[in-house]
Amino acid sequence: TPAHDPNDFEIGMRHNLAMPSMMDERGRIADTGTQFDGMDRFEARVKVREALAEQGRIVAEKRPYLHSVGHSERSGEPIEPRLSLQWWVNVESMAKAAGDAVRDGDIVIHPKSLEPRWFGWVDDMHDWCISRQLWWGHRIPIWHGPDGEKVCVGPDETPPPGWEQDPDVLDTWFSSALWPFSTMGWPDRTPEIEKFYPTSVLVTGYDILFFWVARMVMFGTFVADDDVITLGGERGPQVPFENVFLHGLIRDEHGRKMSKSRGNGIDPLDWVELFGADALRFTLARGASPGGDLSIGEDHARASRNFATKLFNATRFALLNGAAPAPLPDAEALTDADRWILGRLEEVRAEVDSAFDGYEFSRACESLYHFAWDEFCDWYLELAKVQLAEGVSHTTAVLAAVLDTLLKLLHPVMPFVTETLWKGLTGGESVVIADWPEPSGMALDHAAAQRVADLQKLVTEIRRFRSDQGLADRQKVPARLTGVEPAGLAGHIPAVTALAWLTSPAADFGASAQVEVRLSAGTVNIELDTSGTVDVAAERRRLEKDLSAAQKELAGTAAKLDNAAFLAKAPADVVEKIRGRRQLASEEVERITARLADLA
């Protein structure tokens, strides 16, 4: 059936087979010379089956059965391939030019891993059917004469009297392929073409790399040496854009494609109302890994909103303490915490610049998120409180310097909140017209950074030990620290005691618990007096509950890792994650068991 099946059509073309059509454009059987002529396709199929049954030619029936008949996305109707007369574009030379544009580096595809898909399409492209039998679209500019003549009529030309325009419209991708230059006024020479063509980057989804991007490049190279495009020879032939950034599809939180039938679509305006425009923008930018799909749910947007709140609170703290842009003192006058945070800020600035230059928006957002939250807010702000209490006056200048740069770096992905906070901090007109952060020359002081890392480890271990002892958060207890000076942290004792919620030991101090913390330059011993601060019975109940949860996690992960079928089918990264969970659960069981033994 060469007239009704694409594969048969290819075979028919190779072997010069006749191609009779047995179905008209309205889906009725036609020109077969049988009793089925004139029947609708669905009725005819029933009648054919009945006729075969009457002749005893049906040997078996199987229902239901799987098939691959295509259906219209809009109407749901089964699609019937059939031969028809259409308009086509010979794409051989244009497809080659599109391939060469990427090969020669005139156009760069991000990520590079999608280049093979590009070449797979443009290097093996068939002629393009551009006519569509629809009511909407650009009319094909072909006019038909009374004797079968055909003429293409340009925009400034008039068709011969009595001729009729072709009823078909152009494929939507044909119209879309004109977009880069037609929107700038082409074929007229305009200021927009001079200024904006070619554009620097096209941002689109990888799913239309062939349908849209390839066609734009084909048409762009076709008119590349047009006088309007070359500005009358003032510049050489142009491609429509220099870079193509391909993002993935946005899916729901379960990884499913969004669709009306599933009802899992997200109205961005709803999220703007619930979480804010910046939260939505940051969520999408943070997940925009080149070429990779993005699964998002409300939890992701909520986390981004919380991040915006964190930035607001950090800036508010700085302003309440008088932070304002001011010259920083020499590095020798800065504290370890100051040198660490300023050095890390410079590293993050360089990483963000590199990520933006490479269209790695996700990497830029992750770097900014973790620096702002995990380092600046969680640690430096707490250390700054200690410095302010001690009268270290330049602390406010460091706070302002970090926030000034951080808010500028975040502005492309969180424009509204950063604009408000930056103007409040600096008094500047707008961050939009402020200079992008330049290298500060403040390299990371590795010695200072190591002391801060040791301080963080010491505070974290003391907090964990306090929790194991059943102490409430921020409940201050007397403590005695030994080995601090050999460990290089003698100047950080005020910060350790403040951040770990400790007080100085009294004359009658008696240690009821102790822990050792091994640091890079030595070991610090911490003795705590927890007498009278812990409800032993309540603490035992809490630990037993935690132990039950840890044992359940350990059993569940161990069962999966003992399942040969699971190990054979699961991706390697999933198996590795479960191994990590098992290790953590095992350590938790051991830790809680030891603590229960201590309480006994």
432 shares its domain with 359 = yes
At 396, the amino acid letter reads T
Beta bridge partners of 109: 244
Number of domains in the chain: 5
243 shares its domain with 118 = yes
Is 142 part of any domain? no
Residues 206-258: pLDDT tens digits? 999 999 999 999 999 999 999 999 998 899 999 999 999 999 888 888 888 88
327 shares its domain with 422 = yes
Is 74 part of any domain? yes
- Joined tokens for residue 185: 């006024």
Is 141 part of any domain? no
Is 267 part of any domain? no
Q: How many residues does the chain have?
A: 600
95 shares its domain with 205 = yes
241 shares its domain with 343 = no
- Joined tokens for residue 544: 């037993």
Residues 300-352: pLDDT tens digits? 999 999 999 999 999 999 999 999 999 999 999 999 999 999 999 999 999 99
Rounded to the nearest 10 degrees, the angle between the axes of helix 395-410 and helix 415-426 is 150
Residues 67-78: pLDDT tens digits? 888 898 888 899
Residues 449-491: pLDDT tens digits? 999 999 999 999 999 888 877 788 888 889 999 999 999 999 9
d(CA 129, CA 170): 9
Is 61 part of any domain? yes
Which residues neighbour 341 within 8 Å (Cβ) at sequence distance 6 or greater? 375, 376, 380, 398, 402
Buried b (16+ CB within 10 A) or exposed e, 445-466: beebbbbbebbbebbebbeebb
Residue 572, Cβ density class (10 Å: 0-12 exposed, 13-18 middle, ≥19 buried) = exposed
550 shares its domain with 511 = no
CB 449 within 8 A of CB 340: yes
117 shares its domain with 202 = yes
Is 481 part of any domain? yes
Q: From first to last of its 600 residues, what are the pLDDT tens digits of the chain? A: 899 998 999 999 999 999 999 999 899 999 999 999 999 999 999 999 999 999 999 998 888 888 888 898 888 899 999 998 999 999 999 999 999 999 999 999 999 999 999 999 999 999 999 999 999 999 999 999 999 999 999 888 999 999 999 999 999 999 999 999 999 999 999 999 999 999 999 999 999 999 999 999 999 999 999 999 999 889 999 999 999 999 988 888 888 888 777 888 888 899 999 999 999 999 999 988 888 888 888 999 999 999 999 999 999 999 999 999 999 999 999 999 999 999 999 999 999 999 999 999 999 999 999 999 999 999 999 999 999 999 999 999 999 999 999 999 999 999 999 999 999 999 999 999 999 999 998 899 999 999 999 999 999 999 988 887 778 888 888 999 999 999 999 999 999 999 999 999 888 888 777 888 999 989 999 998 887 666 667 777 878 888 899 999 999 999 999 998 888 888 888 889 999 999 999 998 998 898 788 776
505 shares its domain with 440 = no
d(CA 186, CA 174): 16
* CATH code for position 402: 1.10.730.10
Angle at 377 between CA 372 and CA 383, to 5 degrees: 135
The pTM score is: 0.79
Domain around 555: 536-599
d(CA 597, CA 600): 5
d(CA 271, CA 387): 40
* CATH code for position 18: 3.90.740.10
453 shares its domain with 435 = no
328 shares its domain with 229 = no
95 shares its domain with 225 = yes
Which residues neighbour 489 within 8 Å (Cβ) at sequence distance 6 or greater? 451, 454, 455, 458, 496, 519, 524
Q: How many other CB atoms are there within 10 angstroms of residue 586's CB atom?
A: 16
Annotate 89-142 with three-state secondary structure.
Answer: ECCHHHHHHHHHHHHCCCCEEECHHHHHHHHHHHCCCCCEECEECCCCCCECCE
Tell which of 204, 224, 247 closes a domain.
Answer: 247
384 shares its domain with 320 = yes
Examine residue 198 and say whether the peptide bond preceding it is cis (omega within 30 degrees of 0).
yes
